[in-house]
């Protein structure tokens, strides 16, 4: 029970801190549009991110049981941690907060002739969302570890937070940067646990698969 509560807590923290770059890209892409199109671009950007997260989650649940995938996933999650560290260091949350506020306010920021079309803005958002949605799904799937209810909760929370509380979250992370650092520690722990299992677990680890070591049964559900 305590472990389950801790895992839900990890998912909440991961969803919060991984929403910064998503909000920044959407806000910056929308800012170059005509004021009357900006809110539509932000809404469409959130919908695109939600659809991608659901699609990646379906794929992730099918793949995580394949031998060697946990190891590869752990390396990707370590890369996510490095990228998150650089974002915390560069105050991306503060930039995202300002970008969203400018994009949502027709009287702020660029108000001259639009510098891009809705189609080009959505293309930029979609390309960026592919990477960011994969980050989010990978982190949540690693924490959920096969628990479908937990995976659905994590993805549902991420989508709700993006759709209704993006600017508020950016304000929260800007004013309380320790939350981002806590999130980074949580993700590093998850990546480390995923790496350990990806090497040593009997059913999915590369060590037993390659015959280097004798595997051990670990993780939830074993």
79-134 confidence digits (pLDDT tens):
988 988 888 888 877 777 777 777 766 665 555 555 567 888 788 778 877 877 88
Task: Encode 33-68: b = buried (16+ Cβ within 10 Å), e = exposed.
Answer: bbbebbeebbebbbebbbebbeebbeebeeebeebe
What does the pLDDT look like over 28-78, one tens digit per residue? 777 777 777 877 887 888 788 888 888 888 787 777 767 788 888 889 889
Q: If you average pLDDT over every residue of the chain, what do you get?
A: 78
Q: Residue 204, class by beta-carbon neighbours within 10 Å (0-12 exposed, 13-18 middle, 19+ buried)?
A: buried
Measuring CA to CA, how many Å separate 60 from each of 95, 151, 162? Answer: 31, 10, 21
Residue 138 confidence (pLDDT) above 80? yes
The span from the CA of 142 to the CA of 45, in Å, is: 25
């Amino acid at each position: 029970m305590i472990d389950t509560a801790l895992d839900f807590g990890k998912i909440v923290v991961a969803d919060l801190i991984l929403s910064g770059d998503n909000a920044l890209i959407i806000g910056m892409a929308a800012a170059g549009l005509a004021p009357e199109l900006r809110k539509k671009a932000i809404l469409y950007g959130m919908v695109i991110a939600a659809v991608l997260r659901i699609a990646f989650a379906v794929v992730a649940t099918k793949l995580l049981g394949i031998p060697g995938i946990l190891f590869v996933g752990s390396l990707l999650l370590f890369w996510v941690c490095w990228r998150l560290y650089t974002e915390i260091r560069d105050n991306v949350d503060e930039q995202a907060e300002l970008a969203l506020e400018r994009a949502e306010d027709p009287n702020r920021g660029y108000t001259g002739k639009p510098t891009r079309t809705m189609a080009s803005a959505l293309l930029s958002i979609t390309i960026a969302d592919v990477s960011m949605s994969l980050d989010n799904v990978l982190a949540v799937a690693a924490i959920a570890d096969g628990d479908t209810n937990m995976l659905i909760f994590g993805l549902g929370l991420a989508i709700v937070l993006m759709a209704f509380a993006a600017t508020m979250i950016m304000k929260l992370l800007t004013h309380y940067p320790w939350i981002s650092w806590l999130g980074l520690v949580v993700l590093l722990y998850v990546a480390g646990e995923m790496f350990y299992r990806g090497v040593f677990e009997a059913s999915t680890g590369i060590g037993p698969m390659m015959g280097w070591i004798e595997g051990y049964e670990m993780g939830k559900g074993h």
